A and B are shown apart, each in its own frame.
Chain A
Amino acid sequence: MNILTIALRNARKKWVRTLLLLLVFSLGVVSIVALSFVSRVVGDGLEKKLVSYGANILVSPKSEKLTVSYGGFALGDMLFDVSYLDEADTVKRIEGIELRKNVSVIAPKLVVMDHVQGAAVAIVGVRFEQEKLLKGFWMVEQGTFPGETPEQAAARQAMAAPMHDAPAHAPAPKDADPKDAKPTAAVHVPAGADALLAGSAAAEKLGLKLGSVVPLDRHKFVVTGILAPTGSEDDNVLLADMDALQRASGHPGKVNFVEVAALCSGCPIDDIVNQISAALPGVEIKTLRGIVEQRMVSVHFVKKLILSVSLVILLTGCSMVGISMLSAVNERKKEIGILRSLGFSRRAVFSIFCAEAAAVGLLAGFVGYLAGYFVSFRILAVLEIEGAGSLPFEPLHLAATALVLAILTSLASLFPAWKAAGIEPSEALVTL
């Protein structure tokens, strides 16, 4: 029993008021904690998604370019002196910049023009492992990715569409299940030829099917996969493995340009560009600035929104504490008079009021954090957002939340407590 007993007993006696305050503050904390947890998961997911939308930095050799258009009719870009970048060197230099942690994908490209049955088509050489990171939306409609074994393709398809799982009761014997046969049907690539992934529109226009042969000079490519429509430029081209295309086109180790994806909320894009420029003198670097900034703005907007909602909730809670405490001071004038007549100092009276508010804050912070933590799981489940498993429970954050709330409610009760401390025993006790 000490001075805190007085504060806590009163809080307990006025349990309806205490419970109400506790409820409001807990709700505030719940929403803040849940918002921050969910925004963290969503933010992480968003980043991944943003990266999957494609590259945002384009590294290409400096070229003299003249856009020719006459009378509103675009004749296309006329390129003089097509130049190449050395793939290994360029990639190494980009990987060597100081902000390399912010660079998520480096995807070099080699574009070679070819004629298939009289129609011009571009074959684009890519590094598929990088490209797939950059283009998470890619789906192989028929066949496999170049370089993929049928087993890998099956695994990828199983991941993408778990509902098409093979029957669970008995493991189907390998290669015997007719269901597996079609999507993973591997096209045999004869020796001396290379695999080719066809964009949906290109395949249709050129009448390409799995197994079709596309010659390039004296080299042969075999279509082993056809992409589902992506709505992007990839629909119109044929994609080949970089090494194969470099060999076939006679440009070993060379690429036309490199796409770099460096996207994370708050990424210092300008710094990254500057560092890449410094690492690659004489090379042109373009940011798809508009897109980048738009993405950043939306991420920041959401964060700001969450922050302001949190602030409003907390402010509302604080004014509730302030108001309820202030009316309590008037109700409790007599008590204050008794305490003062027993030799309680002004400071002691002040502390009693602050302690009461702090106790509410402490408890609300504690309860609110725990509730917010679990509510986050529910929200993520309802929104069907994955990544709830990565929500770390940190006791330190719990303690910090409770402490911050206690400080906040104490601050809100400063004025009422100060008023209480100023009450003279005579005003409180003298009855007329």
Chain B
Amino acid sequence: MHEPQIIDAPLLEAIGITKSFTQDGMASQALKGVSLSVAQGEFVSIVGRSGSGKSTFVSVLSTLLMPDAGQVNYNGKDLVRATEAEINAIRHGDFAVIFQFHYLLPYLTALENTLLPFMRSLKPVTRAQKTRAMECLARVGLADKAHRLPGQLSGGEQQRVAIARALVKEARVLFADEPTGSLDSATGATVMELLGQINTEGLAVVMVTHNEEYARLAHRLVRMEDGLVV
């Protein structure tokens, strides 16, 4: 779909990830030793049946969930064993996550939601950061709706705000768990187009999707089944 800019050395590498959940006293293994490597600027999509462990895997990759065993190497560091401060720094600067349900703070405007990564401390958001956030919103086609609250935006627009928030950080890896899952096909297509564009600018994308058509737009397609990559 676009010119690949892939560099061979893996940027992000998961090795032998296992994760099990206990629910109502029953232990079920969601991940049974999954390995995956993502190169810089690569677009990987993960497909598989419901319950095969895709979301669990992406959560582990993006540091949002601790695996039972295995390694997640990023930039020469094992994130499973990293300190909380290191994890926070990576979540803040290197990784960006978007979800099926857009997850914006309901009481902040689109612009403020986009600026959220810069509101971690008492340090006020700078003018430059604000300008950049506006640029990112313009990028996703929402320049005119920057001051609306999430409740005043459509699902597709909210998802685009989430993408703008990922963009503003200048992250290196974008994780997307069914980003088009709750959107109609036309809106989903625009979101996919955006993700493709962003990827061409050097951002690696790991995307979970049920849509085989979108999945095939990626450089690589990974299929999961019952907690394993097949």
Contact = CB atoms under 8 A, between A and B. Distances in A.
Nearest to A338: B103
A9 B93 CA distance: 25
Contacts of B55: 430-431
A425 B103 contact: no
A10 interface: yes
A108 to B, nearest CB: 69
Interface residues of B, number: 39
A1 B88 contact: no
A343 B92 contact: yes
B64 A342 contact: no
Contact of A1 (B101, B104, B112): B112
Contact of B105 (A2, A12, A338, A431): A338
Given A344-B120, A348-B120, A426-B65, A2 B125 contact: yes
Contacts of A430: 55-56, 59, 64-65
Given A343-B91, A430-B55, A2 B65 contact: no
Contacts of A424: 64-65
A128 to B, nearest CB: 69
A341 B101 contact: no
Interface in A312-342: 334-335, 337-342
Contacts of A343: 88-93, 117, 120
B120 A345 contact: yes
A391 interface: no
Contacts of B103: 334, 337-338, 429
Contacts of B88: 343-345
A6 B119 contact: yes
Contacts of A339: 116
A209 B153 CA distance: 97
Interface string B69-95: 000000000000000110011111100
Contacts of A348: 120-121
B56 A3 contact: no
A6 B125 contact: no
Interface string A339-359: 111111110100000000000
A59 to B, nearest CB: 66
Interface string A159-202: 00000000000000000000000000000000000000000000
Contacts, number: 94
B112 A3 contact: no
Contacts of A2: 119, 121-125
Contacts of B99: 429, 431
Interface in A388-432: 424-426, 429-431
B125 A13 contact: no
B97 interface: yes
A19 interface: no
Given A13-B106, A342-B116, A343-B88, A3 B101 contact: no
Interface string B120-144: 1111110000000000000000000
Interface string B55-66: 110010010111
Given A10-B107, A13-B106, A337-B103, A346 B84 contact: yes
B108 interface: yes
A88 interface: no
B12 interface: no
Contacts of A431: 55, 99-101
B119 A5 contact: yes
B47 interface: no
Contacts of B84: 345-346
A6 B85 CA distance: 21
Contacts of B104: 338
Contacts of A342: 91-92, 116-117, 120, 165, 169
A69 B103 CA distance: 96
B119 A341 contact: no
Contacts of B169: 342
Nearest to B113: A338
A430 B62 CA distance: 12
B112 A5 contact: yes
Nearest to A352: B119
Contacts of A6: 105, 108, 116, 119
A328 to B, nearest CB: 12
A23 B82 CA distance: 46
A346 B116 CA distance: 16
Given A426-B65, A431-B101, A341 B91 contact: yes
B53 to A, nearest CB: 12
B38 interface: no
A4 interface: yes
Contacts of A14: 107
B107 A9 contact: yes
Nearest to A6: B119
A321 to B, nearest CB: 19
Contact of B64 (A1, A12, A335, A341): A341
Nearest to A355: B122
A88 to B, nearest CB: 70
A340 B117 CA distance: 10
B207 interface: no
19 contacts: A1-B124, A2-B119, A3-B122, A6-B108, A9-B108, A13-B106, A338-B104, A339-B116, A342-B91, A342-B117, A343-B89, A343-B90, A343-B93, A345-B84, A345-B88, A424-B65, A426-B59, A426-B64, A430-B64
Given A343-B89, A431-B99, 5 more contacts: A1-B115, A2-B124, A341-B91, A345-B85, A425-B65
Lowest 10 CB-CB distances: which A-B pairs, in order? A343-B92, A13-B107, A343-B91, A426-B65, A1-B125, A425-B64, A9-B107, A343-B88, A2-B124, A342-B117
